[in-house]
Amino acid sequence: MTRVTTKFLITLFITLVCGVFPYGDAYAQATPKKRVLVLNSYHKGLSWTDNIVAGIETVLKSEGEGKGIELYYEYMDTKRYYDERYFQKLYETLAEKYRRERFDVVIVTDNDAFDFVRKHYNQGPFRSLPVVFCGINNYKDSMLAGFNRFTGVVEDTDVKSTIEIALKLHPKAAQIVVVGDKTTTGIAMKNEVLEVMPHFEGRIKFVFLEDFDIDELLTKVRDLPRDSIILLTVVNRDRTGNFFAYEESLDLIYQAAKVPIYSFWDFYLNGGIVGGMLTSAFQQGKSAAGMALRILRGEDVSTIPVVKKSPNLYMFDYRELARFGIKPSALPAESIIINKPDTFYSRYKNIILVSSATIFVLSLVIIVLLVNISLRKRYETALKDSEEKYRDLYDHAPDMYHSINEKGIIIDCNETEAKMLGYRKEEIIGRPIADFLTEESRKTYEKEFSTLKDHRELFGLEREFVRKDGTTFPAALNVFVELDENGELIRTKTIGRDMTERKRVEMALRRSREELRSLSAHIQSAREEERGHIAREIHDELGQILSKLKLDIAWLKKRLSLDQTQLAEKSDKMSGLVDSTIRTVQRISSELRPAVLDYLGLPAAIEWQAKEFKEQTGIGCAISIDPDLAVPDQDVSIAVFRIFQETLTNIIRHSKASRVDVQLKKEESMLMLEIRDNGAGIPQEKVSNHASFGLMGMKERARFLGGSVTVAGAPGKGTTVTVKIPLDHKENG
């Protein structure tokens, strides 16, 4: 190490120790910011490094993020200083400098810094920190063996694509001269060239210029034959230790070279290279900073994969293309070309295009205006007529119409609504809709208004409106809701219809139904009374006559002589006919009104009817009657019995059942009769069929007593009829 180097390190160490450490603790305690250390392999002022730093700052110093992040920069300067003693002193300096600091993440740029941090990772300021790298040449996954808190962006220079485009643009080239130094980057780039050389075997010759002082290099470049292509990697240091910035070394080589120069990095562009598939230092830094930001936000570094593909682009310098007679059309379609000639057209291209387009458009406008002028009056007249028709339809529509805004204020209404309310339109618009509602409707409106924006359409809302004279009228409203892009209410469009006449008709219809139901109940009651009267008349009067007739026939038969056999036979036939007639009278009397219903009550009548049903049809009938069931009053008993009879009749006609289960019981305050068969099952459409007068009669009987009849069937599983009637029934008129 030279005296200059030693002096530099000592001065740097003393300055850092004396100037920073006294304030370190106070600063750390004064700010809660996240700390990011950026360790650069090279020095500030080197375009590659400066562009990486610019990319990092684009992300980490952006508005919002930058307020919570503090960046620390270190430059290893390995283009100038690179021996092991220097690296050791540099580590000791950083360790002392950041003895009391704790970073949240470390960003390392290029291979020297990457190797430096890996070597000292388990000690000093780098201990166990998340590390994000970028600009790494010749990356292999094995480099991170044992380092599970490392991730980053690989500097993936596309050497093969650059050579291929150079050979395409210079088909007569005989050799590619690879120019590079012995720095870490230079050696890495040579290795990348060596890896792709087999792809070009037999097509081109490769020559390497690498161990040189600058004067020797320039002489060799100056003497290159015309069929050569220079492939410039990096020239930052020559054999004698002289340092050159990227731009400086390129400028020297460009002045000496008479052949095209190609490279892999965008910082060479605009300095003399023709172009190539170029790697961007700015994008490298930007991508690495993005990963660091994810870590600062709490993401685990081990879950962030290494980016192994750089966002490289074909980029070319127009001046160099022209110098070597290369047409831009020969370049890949996605290529970027800089320094295009500043012709009058290119300089004023936008103005020329805009002016031409403007002239063309104005010409068209003039033509269109000339045509439209003749049509405008006709359109205006038609529009005026249309507006008048719309306003006439709007204001004189049979229904009321209004709009309210998000505050419930009326912003528009038609003349129909104004007349219905007894106001002028000017007296309505601008007032809250609640001013025109009854107290009850106002409460409903205030409760539901906040939920209007959750609906697009609401139909059939009912409100009670108050006229100016204090009278009220009901209205049915259909509301259409208009929302903005954020889902907030802009206004409603409401159509309302006066429901006064409809309510009157509904009330009249309800009264009519009640009257019909009362009439039906009266008819049923009168019918039952008449049937009972007829049954008693038949049983008492006709039964007595038949009984007397039978006695007379028996008396007559006893007085016949033994030789009057023909008369004896006739009297026997007459007696049998009388017996048959008596049975018929008893059957008719029972069908009209079973005496058991009147004298023994509903349970006995149900049992008797079930027995008759079984004897007539052969269908099994199981009866279950609650023994604690009190005998209901006559109205309930008759209604339930008649429903039971109608149900059994339907079973005979339609069910094809082999068994019927009947249950009569008390369920809470209700008398319940359930008849279940195992037949075909009644279809749902027949249950709701208004032409099923038997079912309608059953339901009306129960409804008149405040009860209900439900019929449920399933195909192949039978039908169940359930009757429920309150034991303390009140006639439901």
In degrees, to the nearest 5, what angle opens at C-alpha 604 toward C-alphas 603 and 606? 65
pLDDT, one tens digit per residue, over 413-439 is: 988 888 989 999 899 999 999 999 999
pLDDT, one tens digit per residue, over 88-146 is: 999 999 999 999 889 999 999 999 999 999 999 988 899 989 999 998 888 899 999 99
Interstrand relation of 400-404 and 620-625 (parallel, antiparallel or unpaired): unpaired
How much is the average pLDDT of 267-284? 90
What predicted TM-score, i.e. pTM, was given to this entire model?
0.41
In the block, residue with structure tokens 């990096």: 234
pLDDT, one tens digit per residue, over 529-582 is: 666 657 566 655 666 677 777 677 777 777 777 777 787 777 777 877 877 777
Measure the CA–CA gap between 36 and 506, rounded to whole angstroms: 80
- At 639 the pLDDT is 82
Q: Indicate the residue type of 288.
A: A
Residue 731 in contact with residue 519, Cβ under 8 Å? Answer: no
Q: Which two tokens stand for residue 578?
A: 């009388």
CB atoms within 10 A of CB 601: 16
Burial readout 29-63 (b: 16 or more C-beta within 10 A, e: otherwise): eeeeebbbbbbbbbbeebbbbbbbbebbbebbeee
- Give the lowest-confidence range in 293-297, 688-692, 696-700: 688-692
- Give the lowest-confidence range in 127-136, 352-361, 484-493, 585-594: 585-594
- At 458 the pLDDT is 83
Measure the CA–CA gap between 119 and 91, rounded to whole angstroms: 10
Partnered with residue 718 across adjacent β-strands are 714
- At 21 the pLDDT is 43
Measure the CA–CA gap between 638 and 661, rounded to whole angstroms: 20
How much is the average pLDDT of 157-185? 92
Helices (H), 223-301: 246-256, 281-296
pLDDT, one tens digit per residue, over 189-232 is: 899 999 999 999 989 999 999 989 999 999 999 999 999 999 99
77: nearest Cα among 131, 120, 53, 113:
113
How much is the average pLDDT of 635-652? 84
